[in-house]
Amino acid sequence: MMRQMADDWSARQYLKFEDERTRPPRDLLAQVPLDRPARVVDLGCGPGNSTELLIERFPQAEVVGIDSSPDMLRQARERLPGRTFLEGDLSTWLPQERTDLLFGNAVFQWVPDHPAVLGRLIEALPAGGVLAVQMPDNTEEPALALMRDVGSDGPWASRLAKANAARDDLPRPETYYDLLRPLAAHLDIWHTVYNHVMASPQAVVEWFKGSALRPFLSALEGDTRNGFVNAYTAAIAKAYPARHDGKVLLRFPRLFIVAVK
Ligand SMILES: C[S@@+](CC[C@H](N)C(=O)[O-])C[C@H]1O[C@@H](n2cnc3c(N)ncnc32)[C@H](O)[C@@H]1O
């Protein structure tokens, strides 16, 4: 079961790698089999980058963003004035109006017991409605394994015990299939592995400062925090060696689910 991320997100840090972070929602949206949905909700809309894609694809639709982070909602409202962004917690949120598309990019990995939540969201769709979800499936990748290893070995270890337990592996596709297929007329589940080209090992660390590192960093301060970041950066430099041009490839597997009710 996933445990919810306790601290707020920094929209600015997250958007440092906007091009790379917007590729998965583009790939997810490309598989949504809808032409003219009347109402679309961007679940965990963050700073509005995924919401913007939804507005581009469905200009006639009412597009609404939901997020639990006031910082993200503020950025989204600045980016897309005139659109509706509402604070909500996806562990309990359900659409109150008929909604044709529920789109959740890079959010459900943080929602406790998210497979059951996805089931409830499909049940809330009208016939023909779509739930489209993408989640990082990278907990076994070196970048996340090293976060846990470095985090549990050093003067910071006791402060990081909670962060170290914050995200579990995603269930396997079979688990989602068995749970969601009875609720859907059509269900498509796939993985894509991205290889993001990063400028340096430090850039890999900066990437994760906008996501998986946040619970670690918010539990530390001062020299202890710097010590942890330095030890993690050194470990990342070993695990992600420079290519011929000095760049580093960040391998990033992601899981996609598209359910049509
Ligand atoms: C990685 S960002 C994804 C942002 C955007 N959807 C995108 O495609 O880039 C994850 C977002 O989920 C939000 N979030 C995390 N847990 C949540 C919850 N339980 N309910 C609502 N939003 C949540 C975070 O505040 C953050 O804005």
Kindly report the backbone phi and psi dihedral angles of residue 109, in degrees, each rounded to the nearest multiple of 5, phi listed first: -60, -20
Both tokens assigned to 207: 């990437």
Q: Does ligand 1 come within 6 angstroms of the Cβ of 25?
A: yes
Q: Does ligand 1 come within 6 angstroms of the Cβ of 109?
A: no
Tell me, what's the pLDDT at 17? 80
Tell me, what's the pLDDT at 25? 97
Both tokens assigned to 156: 């910071």
Residues 6 or more apart whose CB falls under 8 angstroms from that of 193 comprise 251, 252, 253, 254
Residues 6 or more apart whose CB falls under 8 angstroms from that of 165 comprise 3
Tell me, what's the pLDDT at 7? 45
DSSP characters over 142-195: HHHHHHHHHHTSSTTGGGGHHHHTS-PPPPPHHHHHHHHGGG-SEEEEEEEEEE
Q: Does ligand 1 come within 6 angstroms of the Cβ of 164?
A: no
Q: Atom 10 (ligand 1): residue with closest C-alpha?
A: 107
Q: Does ligand 1 come within 6 angstroms of the Cβ of 90?
A: yes
| Ligand 1 site-directed mutation target among 7, 68, 80, 103, most atoms within 8 Å of CB | 68
Residues 62-74: tens digit of each pLDDT: 999 999 999 999 9
Q: Does ligand 1 come within 6 angstroms of the Cβ of 52?
A: no
Q: Does ligand 1 come within 6 angstroms of the Cβ of 119?
A: no
Atom of ligand 1 nearest to the CA of 50: 8
- The span from the first CA to the last CA of the chain, in angstroms, equals 25
Q: Report the separation in Å between the CA atom of 246 and the middle of ligand 1, taken as the mean of its atom positions.
A: 32
Using H for helix, E for strand and C for coil, what is the string for 64-129? EEEECCHHHHHHHHHHCCCCEEEECCCCCCCCCCCCCEEEEECCHHHCCCHHHHHHHHHHCCCCCC
Residues 211-220: tens digit of each pLDDT: 889 899 999 9
Atom of ligand 1 nearest to the CA of 48: 5
Q: Atom 25 (ligand 1): residue with closest C-alpha?
A: 69
Q: Does ligand 1 come within 6 angstroms of the Cβ of 75?
A: no
Residues 6 or more apart whose CB falls under 8 angstroms from that of 244 comprise none
Using 70 as the pLDDT threshold, list the residues of the chain that sit under it.
1-15, 166-167
Residues 112-157: tens digit of each pLDDT: 999 999 999 999 999 999 999 999 999 999 999 999 999 999 999 9
- Whether the CB-CB separation of 46 and 13 falls below 8 Å is answered with no
Cα 83 to Cα 77: distance, rounded to the nearest angstrom: 7
Q: Does ligand 1 come within 6 angstroms of the Cβ of 87?
A: no
Cα 126 to Cα 100: distance, rounded to the nearest angstrom: 7
Distance, CA of 226 to chain centre: 26
Q: Report the separation in Å between the CA atom of 72 and the middle of ligand 1, taken as the mean of its atom positions.
A: 8
Using DSSP's 3-state secondary structure scheme, residue 196 falls into strand
Residues 6 or more apart whose CB falls under 8 angstroms from that of 166 comprise 3, 5, 215
